[in-house]
Amino acid sequence: MSAIDFIKMMDSNPNIDYSELYKEYFKQFSKRERIDAFIYSMTLYKVTKGLFISNPELWIDFTKQDWQEVLIKNTNRPAIPDNPDGRIIDLYEYDDLIILNKFLKINPFSIILENKDKISRNNLLNCLKYGYFMSTFFYQSDEFLVEDFEDFSNISYVEVQEYSKNLITEGCEKRLNTPEELYSWLEEKIKAI
C-alpha cells in the first residue's frame, strides 16, 4: 500500500484510531512519497493537521526545500474574497500554512514570497489573504501545543522545537510573535503584490 493509499484508507475510516496501530508506518516510504502524501492530505477535509501531529515520521526529515515544495505544489486552495465571511475558517487547503506557523513557528508566508515566481499570483494572494484574515488561528500557547504532542504523538514538543531550530538554521524565517504582528505584516505584503 502506498503512502497516499494509506491516507485514503485513514480518511475513509475516520472512526478508527490508527495512531498506535501504525505509529511509525510512514518510515518505510521514501521522502518523495511522503512529500507527495503530505500534499495529497491537503485535498481531504480535516486530515492534514491530525496526520501532522500523530505521524511525525511523515515529515520530521523535511528540509526547507521540502516545505517549499509542499507550499508551491499545494494548488488546491480556494479563492479568498476581499470581504470573507466565517466560511473561510474551515478551509483545510491552507493547513500547511497553519502547521508551519503554529506548530513549527516558521513564517510560511516568507517562504511563499521567496518563491513567488513559482506560484500563480492568485495562489500567492489567496495564501496572504487567508493568513491576514485568519491570523489568530495561526497561534496557540505552548501549553496547548505540549499537550497536543504529549497526547497524540510519538514525538515530544521539545523535539519539535529542535526540528524548528534546524529549519531556521537552513534559512527559514522565524514566525512573527503575535497574530497582530502577522496581520500587519501581511497587510503590507498584500498591498505590495
Q: Is 85 left (phi over 0), alpha (psi -120 to 50) or beta?
A: beta
Q: Cell numbers of 75, please?
A: 494548488
pLDDT of the residue at 47: 86
Least confident of 13-27, 143-157, 162-176: 13-27
pLDDT of the residue at 20: 64
pLDDT of the residue at 22: 67
Half-sphere exposure of 39 (CA within 13 A, CB side): 18
Residue 85 predicted with pLDDT over 80? no
Separation CA 137–CA 179 (nearest Å): 8
pLDDT of the residue at 34: 95
Separation CA 92–CA 124 (nearest Å): 16
pLDDT of the residue at 17: 73
